[in-house]
Structure 1
């Protein structure tokens, strides 16, 4: 079974060995995340080039995701790199550029004193250190330590429940995004998004620098992001449920309900949703996940998340490949237990009324009704396969992309297997090419399978999806006039005359002969079907077939030369065609 839920792996020192990176790609990494909160452009470039080189060698559509630093607040440097804070002591946060000690620390946000007040809570290092503001002295914030512990350089600072006045786009983020455009990144994961205006700030930079084809994933990490999710989704290609900072900014007991709400809201809007942070945290240092982690990954899959993400597990962990393999196993086993048809029947998407959306819905309905092996679509922009993905169909979605950027971006869409295809002069040629590529490259479709095809006309224009077809995949050997709607598969007995028919025919064969007569009626009664070169709905074979209620094709030109003795074929009584091998006829 091909995994439908996609996996993002964060790159870091643990993945720098070429063989480790190769194994991540071969074991199912769909997207490589590079965290720009740490490191320099030079350091990132080494990993970017390694991904590009390896994915080209393997021929895999591994996407690149740039995770921005965002408008975060951090501590400065400390003497000896680390201090110990004790419960009840006083500790001051200052915008002054100092080397910190166990009484004070510099901070990266210079106007914190303007935003907080006496009694406000301040958390350091993802909430491990908790403090309460006791006073404001100029630009300094004086606090009492409520929960002590060690604090090292550049630890995060969160102020739950307070909207800080800092600008969303820092100079660093702007330079990082420009660098991402130069390096042909596929996604920007925008940290600490509070409103649609934050996303539009990034879109403006992308458009001004030739990066408008990069998709934005908004990371929801605070109360403002949760409250403004509807407007954020309208301007984003998807969101990330970033539970790390969210668990600090929002009461932890609210997280499960928020996660479920955000996942549902995303896929009902036809947008990607990534569930992230501490999903398999224990595999950072241990080879087995906890039972709680297994359930955490599985529940996100049950909820319908588009993707799950590994952070420190692959970036700095001791078992990066094992972490990926473990997550993939959990996803696949969970997906096996989902009733996709029932989910589809109960699903109500918040989609605008359009031909493209109607075709996407109908393609899923048709695929479920006929038990299609796959839905195959050819896309210029990626819109149609993403819309089909939103309905979470049971069968795979094979998307023929016309450029490599879309090819990689679709690799992060739930249930989509992207393949590269070429533009053809007609829709029939395009579909035929896409089906051949699907058979050759994905192993999800084989000859004899039934598939649903969807695409647009005129060709190559985004947003013109208006075609839906059902196709039997296989080689059409011959065609003629069918005298019943029955279909059958069986072994061929080719006879050039009645004597050969009587000599070589075996019970249950499909008899292929120029014409029939009463002299071979004894074997016609034992045939599973009859194919003749002589035409006519009143011919001898036609009358015998109707009498015996078996499939009959008449007027099949050169049937005795085209069809080979002893081979297996399928007669499609609906279309009057003969297929090589065993095929499913609907």
Structure 2
């Protein structure tokens, strides 16, 4: 029973029911629905399939809707691919034009106003870098110089490092998608390009207004502004996604692992979910085996105690979606045997709650005590009776599974991302004991730490 959870993105390579079934069996805990692509009808079909499989397999795989967010893209080009050469002058238009090697348009007209001479424009995950050398006021065009050679296609992503953009955080499309999440029982919403705490509150207001009070908000940190405000974002969010793709083009590459480690530690200390994403098994889009660097990347995330790792293109559009899930799950499971759980236990104490919130303080104490006892006395499991107490136990990263007794499947899916938590709906002690024995976690006489009705007791299987 792995503690680190696995998120897999659905797409053309994995949307078939038979493939999704095998992905669940291979270890997927949460399916990600990428709303940067596809219609509500398309995603609704995938969601229905996931719901049917949860019933068929008796699983509680969660559903995560990932918004498009306030992104900037290039416009259309005259040909399939346009080669922009190093040293060439490229004009960026704020009005739609059919682009070529000397000019192209962007989807955000306000870019002209936000930029100044000397600022950098990174296109297509940063593979093309342009520097603003002039602003043409009459035509409202940015005149740039190419720092390198790269072939660009239509609708490629654009990143603007170290510039605060005045784009609205929630577009009309995002608003419709957030409402769709609320009305279709998604468990999590990943808010792309979250920049400040106010962005989280805006998403929460839309969700609550449309019956989505139980949808948890996972904020994607993808630019310098988000990194700078991450601690205040964590306070109001349910979790964080370390979205290393855009983040790596917005901030210096060497700063990404520093930011990643800080976010993992800060989220754990505050009892919030943290997912590490992007390029974890990138080579497996075309190859059946990962690189050694990719294996080490996943291993270090597990060592640091992240709640989950995520597959994007590997499972959505790659040639080896099932193999990617299987290998990621194997790496997680193997490395968990080497984790310094005492260090993670102590890190869980570094956060703080409002001292007037006696309920949360009580749950915190129970979670810490249970994890400490399980670690020191080699407990086989923690049995947590209730949704909130299971979340607090996960905060302290116990070295054993947390079996969470919950009232319904919505609560169970709401725990799908949390470290070490394995929900049982309307189960009892014997049901949970059988689960441990079946998974070879414990035997007769094994110690179990029980959290129930605000009390901690010790029992044996």
TM-score (normalizing by structure 1): 0.75
Structure 2 unaligned runs (5+)?
356-360
Q: Which residue of 1 aligns with 2:39?
A: 40
Q: Which residue of 2 aligns with 1:261?
A: 262
Distance in 1 separating the partners of 2:431 and 2:348:
31
Q: CA deviation at 1:80?
A: 2.8
Q: Which residue of 2 aligns with 1:403?
A: 408
Q: Which residue of 2 aligns with 1:438?
A: 432
Q: CA deviation at 1:441?
A: 4.0
Distance in 2 separating the partners of 1:122 and 1:4:
40
Q: Which residue of 2 aligns with 1:374?
A: 381
- Is the counterpart of residue 24 in structure 1 residue 23 in structure 2? yes
Q: Which residue of 1 aligns with 2:9?
A: 10
Map Cα deviations across residues 243-298 of structure 1 (whole Å, 9 max, x no partner).
00010000001111111111111101111110100001011100111111110000
Distance in 2 separating the partners of 1:146 and 1:346:
43
C-alpha contact 2:269 2:350 (8 A) present in aligned 1: yes
Q: Which residue of 2 aligns with 1:111?
A: 110
Distance in 2 separating the partners of 1:43 and 1:151:
28
Moved more, 82-91 or 335-344: 335-344
Structure 1 residue ranges (4+ consecutive) displaced by more than 6 angstroms after TM superposition: none
- Is the counterpart of residue 388 in structure 1 residue 388 in structure 2? no
- Is the counterpart of residue 196 in structure 1 residue 201 in structure 2? no
Query: Bigger relative contact order, structure 1 or 2, given CA contacts below 8 A and separation 6+?
Result: 2
Q: CA deviation at 1:5?
A: 0.5
Map Cα deviations across residues 104-150 of structure 1 (whole Å, 9 max, x no partner).
22211111110101111111001001001121123221211111211
Q: CA deviation at 1:156?
A: 0.7
- Is the counterpart of residue 362 in structure 1 residue 359 in structure 2? no
Distance in 2 separating the partners of 1:215 and 1:56:
22
Q: CA deviation at 1:344?
A: 2.6
Q: Which residue of 2 aligns with 1:414?
A: 419
Distance in 2 separating the partners of 1:175 and 1:300:
34
Distance in 2 separating the partners of 1:20 and 1:436:
33
Q: CA deviation at 1:446?
A: 5.0
Map Cα deviations across residues 157-190 of structure 1 (whole Å, 9 max, x no partner).
1111001111100001001111112221100001
Q: CA deviation at 1:73?
A: 0.5
Q: Which residue of 2 aligns with 1:94?
A: 93
State the SS of the aligned residue for 2:116: coil
Map Cα deviations across residues 478-536 of structure 1 (whole Å, 9 max, x no partner).
xxxxxxxxxxxxxxxxxxxxxxxxxxxxxxxxxxxxxxxxxxxxxxxxxxxxxxxxxxx
Q: Which residue of 2 aligns with 1:210?
A: 211
Distance in 1 separating the partners of 2:343 and 2:115:
50
- Is the counterpart of residue 455 in structure 1 residue 460 in structure 2? no
State the SS of the aligned residue for 2:69: coil
- Structure exhibiting the larger radius of gyration computed from Cα positions: 1
Distance in 2 separating the partners of 1:329 and 1:323:
10
Q: Which residue of 2 aligns with 1:229?
A: 230
Q: CA deviation at 1:89?
A: 1.6
Distance in 2 separating the partners of 1:445 and 1:180:
39
Distance in 2 separating the partners of 1:342 and 1:130:
41
